[in-house]
Amino acid sequence: MIQFEHVSKRYDQGHDALKDVSFTLNAGEMAFLTGHSGAGKSTLLKLIMLMERPSSGQVTVAEQDLGRLSRSGIPYLRRSIGVVFQNHQLLSDRTVFDNVALPLHISGYSPEDAARRVRAALDKVGLLAKEKMNPLALSSGEQQRVGIARAIVHKPKVLLADEPTGNLDPQLSQEIMRLFEQFNRVGTTVLVASHDVSLISKMRHRMLVLKEGRLIGDE
C-alpha cells in the first residue's frame, strides 16, 4: 500500500531530512514510526500525502507512483488518505458534527449521505452524543477523537497520524492508539508517528525507527 524505495529528502537550505529510506507497508498492515525529534518522521508522512516531494527515490501509495502523479491527481490521492495531527486543527466556530463533515463537503457528498457518514464516524469514536457541541467544550482526548472521526469519515484506505497523543496523558494516549487498532482491524492501513516509545512498544506492532533521517530499525 505504501512503498518507499531509496527515498531521500533535502530541504532547501536545510540538511537531509531523509536519507535512502526503503520500506513497504502492505495493505491492511499497522506500523509505528518512531525516532527523536527531527529524525524525519513528519517529513516521511508529508511525502506520502504529497505535501512534499522527495529529492530522490520513489514513493508509491495505493499503486500510484507519486513521482508520476500530476497536480490534478493530488486530490484523488488525498481522498484515499486520512490524516490525524497532534493539534487536531478543529474549527472552533463550528459544531463537532460540522468539523467532521468538512472533508465530505469538499468532496461533494449530498447532505444526506454526508450526515449518515458523519454519524457513523462519530459513533466509531464514541462521540455521537456530542455532535452538536462546540469542540472547545470537549476534553483534549475528546477533541483528538473528533480529529480522528474527521480523518476517517471518507473511509480512507490509509490512515496516517503525526504524534496523535502528544498532549494526552498515558491512559488517554492508550485509548487513542486502541482506536487506530480498531480501524486497522477493519482493513485500514495505519501508520502512526510517535516518539512515545514506552506506549508503542507495549502494542506489538511493527516499528520503523528513524535516526537522523535514516531508517535504522524495522521490527
Ligand X SMILES: Nc1ncnc2c1ncn2[C@@H]1O[C@H](COP(=O)(O)OP(=O)(O)OP(=O)(O)O)[C@@H](O)[C@H]1O
Return residues touching ligand X (CB under 6 A).
11, 14, 17, 35, 37-43, 195
| Euclidean distance between CA atoms 155 and 166, whole angstroms | 24
**CB nearer to ligand X: pick between 42 and 184:** 42
Taking residue 172's Cβ as centre, other Cβ atoms within 10 Å add up to 17
**CB nearer to ligand X: pick between 23 and 133:** 23
State in angstroms the smallest separation of the CB of 190 from ligand X: 17
State in angstroms the smallest separation of the CB of 153 from ligand X: 25
Spatial contact of 164 and 84, defined as CB atoms under 8 Å apart: yes
Spatial contact of 140 and 164, defined as CB atoms under 8 Å apart: no
CA distances from 31 to 94, 127, 191 (A): 33, 26, 5
Strand order in the sheet with 16-25: 16-25, 2-10, 56-61, 64-65
State in angstroms the smallest separation of the CB of 124 from ligand X: 27
**CB nearer to ligand X: pick between 101 and 193:** 193
66 alpha carbon, distance to own chain's centre: 17
Q: Which three cell numbers, joined as nine digits, stand for 149?
A: 472521526
State the DSSP H helix or E strand holding residue 84, giving kind and residue range, or none if neither.
strand 81-85
State in angstroms the smallest separation of the CB of 23 from ligand X: 16
State in angstroms the smallest separation of the CB of 110 from ligand X: 38
**CB nearer to ligand X: pick between 45 and 153:** 45
CA distances from 103 to 39, 152, 191 (A): 30, 10, 20
State in angstroms the smallest separation of the CB of 163 from ligand X: 6
Overall residue count recorded for the chain in this entry: 219
Spatial contact of 101 and 153, defined as CB atoms under 8 Å apart: yes
